[in-house]
Amino acid sequence: MSFEFLHPISEDILAEVEGLHKSTLGKQLSFHTVNEFPDLSKTKIAIIGVVESRRSVRENDVPFNFNHIRKEFYKLYAGNWNEPIADLGDIYAGDSVDDTYFLLKQVTEDLLNRSIIPIILGGSQDLAYAQYRAYDDYGQMVNLVNVDAQFDLGDTEQDLCNKSYVGKMVVNEPYNLFNYANIGYQTYFNAQEEINLIDKLFFEAYRLGEISSDITLAEPVMRDANFVTLDVTSVAMTNVNPSMPNGFNGKEICALSRYAGISDKVSSLGIYEIQDLDLTKNSAMLVSQILWYFIEGVNFRKKEYNNSFLKEFTKFTVPLENEHLVFYRSELSGRWWVEIPNSKKINNKLNKQSLLSCSHQDYLDACNQVIPERWFKAYRKNEI
């Protein structure tokens, strides 16, 4: 079993849990201890730490762990939740970085096969590549949403690092990445060649100012994600991340995390670049609240996207000049989807993904003969 490589929660942390209020998360989670491993048959969400940052371009030799985050997370009070949570402990850095990738891939894949949602607390964001590789046997192509100030496409001719992992997802076999969506990029941190490449590949990119002006723009994007990664350095808080003067504030990053959690499709979350945080109580509290909001979202999923969902939806057909778009509105949540025509291509692994999440505004735009940009990009990718 892959779980034998997980190291248990520190005894010092567990000792602090003993003094917490009975309604806190620390009293409701299952823990991997030196004497006991959580019952995974009774687990829906599993937290894993990965102590690895050797392929960060900003690598330093300062040791780090996730105990400060766990302390703050355990102190939080649980919401009106039903989904059982377990903290499985940490994967320590292997003899090589590839060893760490292998362990993370195996653990994540094992949890996914058990219908358990992994929440990965990681060092450098190249670990997202191992998270992605856990979907190699998923049976269809997957969508990644990355909350980050940079695209991280990098130079695919060079070794994998935390600034090139997305590029490696694109060029390395097996080719499983259907869509990459970046939320919160800042133009001056990205080469124009990368910005052009995002457009050429029909990927999605939303500027920081665009999302900050209307955070709800991110909801349909998150709703289509299979896995989400979050670079904590995309948050601008002087006492948390002094090197990032612009970025999301605490309220915005927690809203994005909740959107990810409430998506019926998101099956794993990675929170990375934690090794670069100023290890203060404030930064630990921020990450713990990001966790809290994701779990809150999972507990309030509508479970709309399934084989019988069309029975619960109202259909709207919008004629355009050379096309007609078919929209669906959920009577349960009021959320919207638009149909993607089946590709004429054979075996493109997209057969199960015939609907694209959208907004009410997309429907109104289509009624005014404006084709939604997300629909156009998905349609073009489907035809390639």
Mean pLDDT estimate for the chain: 91
Does residue 330 surpass a pLDDT of 50? yes
Q: How confident is the model at residue 346 (pLDDT cuts 50, 70, 90)?
A: very low
Kindly report which listed range (111-120, 184-193, 268-277) carries the lowest average pLDDT score.
Answer: 268-277
Say whether pLDDT at 260 is over 70. Answer: yes
Burial of 172 (0-12, 13-18, 19+ CB in 10 A): middle
* b/e code 294-317 from CB counts within 10 Å (16+ = b): bbbbbbeeeebbeeebeeebeeee
Asked whether the predicted pLDDT for residue 181 surpasses 90, the reply is yes
The least confident of 136-150, 189-203, 239-253, 356-370 is 239-253
pLDDT at 305: 67
Mean of the pLDDT values across residues 285-294? 96
Considering only residues 381 and 187, tell me which one the structure prediction assigns the higher pLDDT. 187
The 3-class SS string of 92-125 reads: ECCCCHHHHHHHHHHHHHHHHHCCCEEEEEECCC
The three-state secondary structure class of 48 is strand
Q: What percent of the chain has pLDDT over 70?
A: 91
Alpha-carbon gap, residue 69 to 82, rounded angstroms: 23
pLDDT bracket for residue 49 (50, 70, 90):
very high
Q: Which two tokens stand for residue 361?
A: 């505004």
Q: Yes or no: say if 360 and 336 are a contact pair by the CB < 8 Å rule.
A: yes
User: Quick check: 61 and 111 in contact, CB under 8 A?
Assistant: no
User: How many other C-beta atoms are found inside a 10 Å radius of the C-beta of residue 329?
Assistant: 17
Domains and their CATH numbers in the chain: 2-299 (3.40.800.10), 309-383 (no CATH)
> Between the CA atoms of 272, 273, 274 and 277, what dihedral angle is there, to the nearest 10 degrees?
-150
| Residue 307, pLDDT above cutoff 60 | no
Residue 161 in this model has a pLDDT that exceeds 90: yes
